[in-house]
Amino acid sequence: MDYLVILLVFLVFLQTRIMDLKHAVYCLAAQSGAVALSCLVIGLASGEVIHGIVPAVLTLLVKVIFIPSAVLRIIGQLKDERESVSDINTNASTVAAALFLVLGYAIVNRILPDAAGKDVIAASILMIMTGLSLMVLRKRAIMQIVGLITLENGIYLLGLLLTEGLPLVVELGVFLDVLIAVVVLVILTSRMRLSFMTTDTSIMKKLKG
């Protein structure tokens, strides 16, 4: 489990530095894979085999295979495949991620001083906050989707650790929602490409006041 947490933290930090859209999606897929693995580990440790395997398999199918391939398909149709930010922005988001990690440990020590998987909780808080910062700081639609899935993964991991998984029906519903959300976002992105000739969301600022 410790190795998985290290891997996750590494992947999240990597995510803040990647500017190429394709690589960002690969990184996201790897991150979701790590979440699926930890899902399996936690599920098997708790003893209930079905409740451990089903969410892990679903994570694998939805977040590692379906979502990245859908997003990659859209990227294939784009011409400018890079996020358009300067180095300062990247460094800022990496430093922010580091701060989030410290914050995560601080929060865990304050609220749950005797919880079992402190590191996992800190990692999931890191993922939640980094996902949020990616959504705010990045301008490309694809990068914002990546941020959203990172955020979702973080919440999922936290839920997994705090409760050993939500009830199965709810879990299925959550997966369905993530799936539909990505489909909707991909539809919107491709429409954006047709209407604006780019997926840079910062040019959409007509609606104000």
Partner 1 sequence: MNIDITTLLYCILGLPVLFSIIAALNIAGKNLLHWLNRIAATAVGAAVIQLVCIFDPDVPYSSEYLYLDALSMWMVIIISTLYFAFAWTSKAYLDRDTNARYGYLRRFGYLEGRFYALSHMFVLIMLMVVLVNNLGLMWVTIEATTLVSALLVAFKFTRTSLEATWKYVMVCTVGICLALLGTVIVYHLQLTDIGPEKPLDWVYLVQNRELISPVMAKFAFCFLFVGYGTKIGLAPMHAWLPDAHSEAPALTSGLLSGSLCICAIYVLMRNIVILLPAIGIDFISGLCLGFGLLTIAAAVPFVLVQRDVKRMLAYSSMENFGLMVAGLGIFIPMAVEATLLHMFNHALVKYSLFYVAGTIMEEYSTKNMMRIHGMMVQVPKTALFWLLGIVGILGMPPIGIFFSKFYIIYGFFQAEHPWMGVLALVLLAGMLMGILYHIMRMLGGKPTRKAASELIGKVDAAVIFGLLLFSAVVSAQISELPVFNHLLCNAAKIVLGGAAL
The residues of the shown chain that bind partner 1, judged by CB under 8 A, are 111, 128, 132, 135, 141, 144, 148, 151-152, 155, 158-159, 162-163, 166-167, 169-170, 173-174, 176-177, 180-181, 184-185, 187-188, 191-192, 195-196, 201, 204-207, 209
Q: Is the dihedral of CA 139, 68, 161, 172 positive or negative?
A: positive
Q: Choose between 75 and 192: whose C-beta lies nearer to partner 1.
A: 192
Least distance CB 142 / partner 1 (angstroms): 12
Q: Between residues 50 and 207, which has the closer beta carbon with respect to partner 1?
A: 207
Nearer Cβ to partner 1, position 6 or 183?
A: 183
Instruction: State the minimum distance, in angstroms, from the CB of residue 87 to partner 1.
Output: 25
For the chain, the 3-state helix, strand and coil shares in percent, each to the nearest 5, are 80, 0, 15
Shortest Cβ distance from residue 125 to partner 1 (Å)? Answer: 10
Nearest CB to partner 1, comparing residues 91 and 202:
202
Strand partners, 200: 140
Q: Is 14 or 166 the residue whose CB approaches partner 1 more closely?
A: 166
Per the DSSP assignment, residues forming a β-bridge with 140 are 200
For residue 95, give both structure tokens.
Answer: 């430093």
Instruction: Provide, rounded to whole angstroms, the least separation between the CB of residue 124 and partner 1.
Output: 10
By three-state DSSP, how is residue 200 classified? strand
- What's the token pair of residue 21? 């859209």
Q: Which residues contact 167 (CB under 8 A, 6 or more apart)?
A: none
Distance separating alpha carbons of residues 156 and 56, to the nearest angstrom: 11
- Tell me the CB-side half-sphere exposure of residue 154, using CA atoms within 13 A: 25
